A and B are shown apart, each in its own frame.
Chain A
Amino acid sequence: MYAQMVTSEATNDDPAKLVAFQARIDAGEKIEPKDWMPEGYRKTLIRQIGQHAHSEIVGQLPEGNWITRAPTLERKAILLAKVQDEAGHGLYLYCAAETLGVSRDELTEALLSGKMKYSSIFNYPTLTWADMGAVGWLVDGAAIMNQVPLQRTSFGPYARAMVRICKEESFHQRQGYDIMMKMAFGTPAQKAMAQDALNRFWYPSLMMFGPSDKDSVHSAQSMAWKIKMNTNDELRQKFVDQTVPQAEYLGLTIPDPAVKWNEDKGGYDFSEPDWSEFFEVIKGNGPCNAERLEARQKAWDDGAWFRDGLMAHASKRATAKVAAE
């Protein structure tokens, strides 16, 4: 899940309009940018889509960390294509957010100032090549759990962006699992790297769904608006149920002795992640928070002359065109 703990915004709109709006949502209609919408709906969506977009952009960094060290030409090409997809996802999502009245530059500034967040998962380091497998398998796998239902979300541009994103994400997950297979069935050193990657990414992947939201009023509002489609706990359970047999196939051990099939609920039991760690990461104290934001800030600052140069050239051209007419 690339948007975590998105609190929905309060709304002070005309009650009659709110009722009519809710009726449209309940009837399964898509809300389009020019339609009336409650202020809270608009603001919550900006926050959620923005956080999702930022996650795609920051998410380039942990994988970019291995593009220059990819072990074969084919692996290098696949990883490049994957990271390129992520930049593309960021682009569609920023465009979807723009239809709600916020510019990409404003969102970028909010990311860099720390006002907006990105997914906690990208604050963990990628230490071995097996991490490229684990990120695709677990991180993209968790993202898909959340994003597949979002194809049915009530806001049209977001739902449509998600259709395209989901297609690409499922390719990412498959390539991640493919790397894991090569590693798990490879030399003893490769297998050790694969297990180590699973050990490090297991709990952070579970954290991607956010803390249990069963008592959260905000979640209830987002679910009524069909901005959020499932509870965090439902998605986390689904993810564990999908992933445990995949780990077994690989001959790898989930780093949680409590993982056990529970016949009654028809799913696996498992331990909760350490939520105090999660809140520290969200606050900025994860292993890579500082590096990730520094890298984005540097890219933005170093690129200022480039963006200014293009703008200056465009305005020169426009002036020349007017003069010629």
Chain B
Amino acid sequence: MTTKADLDKALFEGLCRLGDSTLVLGHRVSEWCGLAPVLEEDIALANVALDLIGQTQLWLGLAAEVEGKGRDADELAFRRDVWEFRNLLLVERPNGDFGHTLMRQFLFDAWHQPMLKALEGSGDSRIAGIAAKAGREVAYHLERSADLVIRLGDGTEESHARMQAALDRLWPYTGEMMAGDSTDAALAEAGIMAAPDSIRPVWDALVAEVLGEATLKAPESTFMHKGGKQGQHSEHLGHMLATMQWLQRAYPDATW
């Protein structure tokens, strides 16, 4: 039988998986600041990054509350090391060209939106509340990223080639979003979070539809990387944290 302490531990993990994913993706997107291909994209990217950072404050804030050790969202974001991060591997992929950035966003949004929809039905009202708020923002993220993937996939020969290359490169990082482990199972059983594999049918259908319209082809290989949710990351995350956490680490007694 699962005790309350076990469940809280699982819940802390589950909330960090959500909050770390939005944090890491929000950070990656914010790296584009001032460098997008067109002014409207600078504005849109800042919007997406802002939404994701705002969601991070809510998810990690709740994680800290559930943990009950006196930490807060900032402490979780800025004072944990790589092995304690629980984000998906997909979101820590470097930005690459704008095509990679957009494709990563679309593959994530296509999971994020239905996941939040499912979380709106959580038995924990705090989670349902955050999911409802975030869901409104993410519906727009998905609309935008899907639209751009279609337009660039079915644009010029070069834009098509770049989007296909991005898809090929990022595809092996998508499986982790729908792969559950014992933490996911415990949370699903308690009616607190949706089981990752329950998102699979919606994700498959959405991705197939958009890629079809974009004239892009999903790779045939079924190999999928995993480990991010359990704290086993790529080399890229450490460099991101070195940048992101530098001030907090260098001046630990300061408040900002």
| Given A73-B77, A189-B251, A84-B152 contact (CB < 8 Å) | no
- Annotate B220-256 by CB proximity to A: 1 below 8 A, 0 otherwise: 0000000000000000000000011011100101111
Partner of A299, one of B37, B152, B246, B254: B37
- In the complex, the answer to whether A69 meets B37 with C-beta atoms within 8 Å is no
| Given A299-B37, A303-B38, A309-B156 contact (CB < 8 Å) | yes
Say whether B181 faces chain A, with CB atoms less than 8 Å apart. no
Partner of A68, one of B39, B46, B158, B244: B244
Say whether A129 faces chain B, with CB atoms less than 8 Å apart. yes
Residues of A115-172 at the interface with B, using a CB-CB cut-off of 8 Å, are 129
B57 — which chain A residues lie within 8 A by C-beta? Answer: 73-74, 77
A91 — which chain B residues lie within 8 A by C-beta? Answer: 39-40, 43
- In the complex, the answer to whether A187 meets B253 with C-beta atoms within 8 Å is yes
Query: Which chain B residue lies CB-closest to A61?
Result: B34
- In the complex, the answer to whether B47 meets A298 with C-beta atoms within 8 Å is no
Say whether A259 faces chain B, with CB atoms less than 8 Å apart. no
- In the complex, the answer to whether B254 meets A186 with C-beta atoms within 8 Å is yes
- Annotate B53-85 by CB proximity to A: 1 below 8 A, 0 otherwise: 110110010000000000001100110000000
At the interface, is chain B mostly helix, strand, loop or mixed? helix
- In the complex, the answer to whether B36 meets A72 with C-beta atoms within 8 Å is no
- In the complex, the answer to whether A306 meets B152 with C-beta atoms within 8 Å is yes
Residues of B128-152 at the interface with A, using a CB-CB cut-off of 8 Å, are 150-152
Say whether A313 faces chain B, with CB atoms less than 8 Å apart. yes
At the interface, is chain A mostly helix, strand, loop or mixed? helix
- In the complex, the answer to whether B152 meets A72 with C-beta atoms within 8 Å is no
Query: Looking at chain B, what size class is its interface with the partner chain?
Result: 35 or more
Say whether A37 faces chain B, with CB atoms less than 8 Å apart. no
- In the complex, the answer to whether A87 meets B50 with C-beta atoms within 8 Å is no
- In the complex, the answer to whether B159 meets A306 with C-beta atoms within 8 Å is yes
- In the complex, the answer to whether B30 meets A186 with C-beta atoms within 8 Å is no
- In the complex, the answer to whether A305 meets B46 with C-beta atoms within 8 Å is no
| Given A76-B30, A87-B43, A129-B247, A308-B35 contact (CB < 8 Å) | no
- In the complex, the answer to whether B38 meets A306 with C-beta atoms within 8 Å is yes
B31 — which chain A residues lie within 8 A by C-beta? Answer: 67-68
Query: Looking at chain A, what size class is its interface with the partner chain?
Result: 35 or more
A57 — which chain B residues lie within 8 A by C-beta? Answer: 34, 39
B35 — which chain A residues lie within 8 A by C-beta? Answer: 64, 295, 298-299
Say whether B200 faces chain A, with CB atoms less than 8 Å apart. no
Query: Which chain A residue lies CB-closest to B28?
Result: A68
Most chain-A CB neighbours within 10 Å: which of B46, B49, B255? B46
Partner of A187, one of B47, B53, B254: B254
Alpha-carbon distance A304/B159, docked complex (angstroms): 10
Query: Which chain B residue lies CB-closest to A186?
Result: B254
Partner of B37, one of A81, A306, A311: A306
B256 — which chain A residues lie within 8 A by C-beta? Answer: 71-72, 75, 129, 182
Alpha-carbon distance A104/B38, docked complex (angstroms): 11
A68 — which chain B residues lie within 8 A by C-beta? Answer: 27, 30-31, 243-244
Instruction: Show 27 A/B contacts (Cβ-Cβ < 8 Å), sorted by A.
Output: A64-B35, A67-B31, A69-B243, A71-B254, A72-B248, A73-B56, A75-B256, A76-B30, A77-B50, A80-B50, A83-B46, A84-B42, A84-B47, A84-B50, A129-B256, A189-B254, A190-B251, A299-B34, A299-B37, A300-B37, A305-B159, A306-B41, A308-B155, A308-B159, A312-B156, A313-B152, A316-B154
Beyond A74-B57, A182-B255: 11 further Cβ-contacts under 8 Å?
A68-B31, A71-B78, A71-B256, A73-B73, A77-B54, A80-B50, A83-B33, A190-B251, A190-B254, A306-B37, A309-B151
